[in-house]
Amino acid sequence: MFPLIILLFGDIMNLKSNVFTLHTVDGISYLTYDRLSAIPFIRHAFSTKLGDGTRTIHPMDMSFDHDDREAVTENYQRFCKAAGFDYRSLVASSQDHHTFVRVVTSAEKGIGIYREKDIMSVDGLVTIEPGVTLCTYYADCTPLFFVDTKTHAIGLAHAGWRGTVGRIAQKVIDTMRDSFGTEPSDLICAVGPNISVCCYEVDSTCAEQFYSLGLNSDQFVFPKDDGKFMVDLLECNRQILVSCGVKPENITISDVCTKHNSDLLWSHRATAGDRGTMCAMLRINAE
């Protein structure tokens, strides 16, 4: 039997979580990882669907693909003000469930936000430059945060099931090592929030991709009596990180399921695809 990992909020504004804090500033609500918030040289945030006065079709939609550009831009500006980011510093991914990781600098500021995308397949972003804010998108898939406590490099990646089995976590670490000299043992990582094992059902073809990873798949793939499988993307990504040399004690795992908490977070499965998109942001603070 697969484990149940369900966190029900009840009163949203009194979030019960062992790893997250829910903030509300100027009517905009967002999550932060307590472990990442304790690192003095970074700022991070994960958006929610809660934001007073939004003009987008889907509340606090952060995707230009689904909604009016002017209204989404307003969401970004309001979110950045609330969460403490400079709107002009954003660099966005261009996700298509692959594993390309891009190194970005101040020269890329605005790409995917107020400048046109110049690469059409970017599911991971890394930088070592202060003041550059990485931005990636989610509505059930798994965000991966990477912070190098020695070099102060950072990374942010989008891991759907394809990205997970494609080991995008490993590719981010490899890129950080090659570009910045990152050692995996110096990394602090956070995984999620995403759709958790309680809600993530897949067919046998998909499950076989997870079995083929050569990890302890009995801890993240759980057969059902009807021939389907429940998959724990959090645990799978955790094992990939550990296999790359990240210390287990340096990995924080989400205790929030996006589908079970669709009153707070956008979930593709909970809405049958009629949904907005959340974003994760991560920045090295300027000196």
For 216-250, the pLDDT digits (tens) are 999 999 999 999 999 999 999 999 999 999 999 99
- Answer yes or no: is 52 within a domain: yes
The structural domain count of the chain equals 1
Confirm whether 206 is domain-assigned. Answer: no
**264 alpha-carbon distance from chain centroid:** 15
Closest Cα partner for 183 from 191, 192, 174?
174
> Is 126 within the bounds of a domain?
yes
Q: Are 178 and 128 in contact (CB under 8 A)?
A: no
- Considering the entire predicted model, what is its pTM? 0.94
What pLDDT does 14 receive?
A: 56
Report the 3 state secondary structure along the chain.
CCCCCCCCCCCHHHCCCCCEEEEEECCEEEEEEHHHHCCCCEEEEEEEEEECCCCCCCCCCCCCCCCCHHHHHHHHHHHHHHHCCCHHHEEECECCCCCCEEECCHHHCCECCCECCCCCCECEEEECCCCCEEEEEECCCEEEEEEECCCCCEEEEEECHHHHHCCHHHHHHHHHHHHHCCCHHHEEEEECCECCCCCCEECHHHHHHHHCCCCCHHHCEEECCCCCEEECHHHHHHHHHHHCCCCHHHEEECCCECCCCCCCCCCCCCCCCCCCCEEEEEEECCC
Q: Using omega within 30 degrees of 0 as the cis cutoff, is the peptide bond preceding 193 cis?
A: yes
Instruction: Specify if 50 maps to a domain.
Output: yes
* pLDDT for position 66: 75
How many residues appear in the chain? 287
HSE-CB at 179 with a 13 A cutoff on CA atoms is: 21
44: CB partners within 8 A, 6+ apart: 32, 33, 36, 37, 145, 280, 281, 282, 283
**Residue 226 resides in a domain:** no
**Does a structural domain hold residue 208?**
no
pLDDT at 2: 44
Closest to 143 in 3D by CA, of 33, 60, 57, 218:
33
229 within a domain of the structure (yes/no): no
Please report whether residue 203 resides in a domain: no
Q: Which CATH number does the domain housing residue 182 bear? A: 3.60.140.10
Task: Provide φ and ψ at 145, rounded to 5°.
Answer: -105, 135
- pLDDT at residue 167, rounded to an integer: 98
Digitized pLDDT (tens) for each residue of the chain, 287 residues in all: 444 444 444 444 557 799 999 999 999 999 999 999 999 999 999 999 999 878 898 999 999 987 889 999 999 999 999 999 999 999 999 888 899 999 999 999 999 999 999 998 999 999 999 999 999 999 999 999 999 999 999 999 999 999 999 999 999 999 999 999 999 999 999 999 999 999 999 999 999 999 999 999 999 999 999 999 999 999 999 999 999 999 999 999 999 999 999 999 999 999 999 999 999 999 999 87
pLDDT at 150: 98
Domain around 190: 12-196+252-284
